[in-house]
């Protein structure tokens, strides 16, 4: 969902996934958000496509993933970079009130392959809510270059860089179901103007439009105890990209 907000406060905020995460189990509300508005199509650096949360193979740890910049071609991937003017945040509700109690803030410096990442948190949000976003004054806990495994296996580990888009989307069939969302130009614009399908094709017949495309991923692994509060093992997790 991309509501219109003052540009000074926020260029893009994407609620991609709300997850209830426990130490050994994970219930997920599934969603994905690839170029969902004209504003994001014109400003692809703002496009938050997916947020994932799942238990790490190492007991007592959790993995958080935020994907951005949909539809990166192999040719564009080597020079693709995150937006150094924006704040990427994982937001964690550990009290069940649907408001973030902790945040993990990710910022970038430079551009292209030489870009560097800095991660702060988990910390209490400097400002709660999506309308006003402020970088924490705390020092980064992990810093380093894109495309590298950063941090410590006993504390926080971070990876930021290009990865294959893990979402599956039969976009051609989607535009047959909802033709008013078709692009104005290109092959997909030539699909029939009236709905010719009532649902998606069976799994064996579906065509993954995202095959061959990449995204930019932010992956954070850390002890789940750093996110929980009051003995509760349930977490609400979502992500935002904002200015």
Nearest Cα neighbor of 140 from 117, 114, 160, 113 is 117
Residues 160 and 82 sit within 8 Å (Cβ to Cβ): yes
pLDDT at 242 over 60: yes
Distance CA 162, CA 172 (A): 25
Q: For residue range 65-103, list pLDDT tens digits in order.
A: 999 877 777 777 777 889 898 999 999 999 988 899 999
**C-alpha to C-alpha distances, 211 to 19, 23, 114, 176, 217, nearest whole angstrom:** 26, 32, 27, 19, 16
Q: What is the pTM of this model?
A: 0.75
**Residue with token string 């200015």:** 243
> How far does Cα 204 stand from its chain's mean position?
28
Work out the average pLDDT over 11-19: 34
User: What backbone torsions phi and psi does residue 39 show, to the nearest 5 degrees?
Assistant: -60, -40
What is the pLDDT, as a whole number, of residue 196? Answer: 63
Residues 149 and 159 sit within 8 Å (Cβ to Cβ): yes
**C-alpha to C-alpha distances, 215 to 47, 54, 61, 113, nearest whole angstrom:** 10, 19, 24, 15
Which residues 6+ apart lie within 8 Å of 11 measured at CB? Answer: 43, 46, 86, 241, 242, 243
């Amino acid at each position: 969902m991309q509501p219109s907000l003052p540009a000074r406060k926020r260029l893009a905020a994407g609620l991609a996934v709300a997850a209830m995460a426990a130490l050994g189990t994970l219930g997920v509300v599934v969603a994905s958000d690839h170029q969902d508005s004209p504003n994001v199509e014109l400003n692809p650096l703002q496009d938050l496509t997916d947020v994932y949360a799942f238990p790490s193979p190492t007991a007592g740890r959790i993995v958080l993933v935020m994907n951005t910049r949909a539809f990166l071609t192999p040719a564009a991937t080597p020079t693709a970079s995150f937006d150094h003017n924006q704040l990427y945040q994982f937001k964690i509700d550990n009290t069940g009130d649907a408001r973030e109690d902790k945040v993990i803030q990710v910022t970038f410096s430079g551009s292209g392959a030489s870009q560097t990442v800095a991660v702060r948190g988990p910390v209490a949000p400097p400002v709660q809510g999506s309308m006003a976003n402020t970088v924490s004054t705390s020092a980064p806990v992990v810093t380093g270059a894109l495309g590298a495994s950063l941090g410590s296996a006993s504390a926080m580990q971070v990876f930021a860089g290009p990865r294959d888009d893990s979402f599956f989307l039969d976009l051609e069939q989607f535009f047959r179901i909802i033709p008013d969302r078709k692009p104005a130009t290109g092959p997909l614009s030539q699909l029939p103007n009236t709905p010719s399908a009532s649902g998606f094709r069976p799994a064996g017949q579906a065509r993954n439009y995202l095959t061959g495309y990449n995204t930019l991923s932010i992956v954070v692994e850390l002890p789940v105890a750093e996110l929980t509060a009051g003995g509760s093992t349930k977490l609400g997790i979502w992500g935002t990209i904002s200015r």
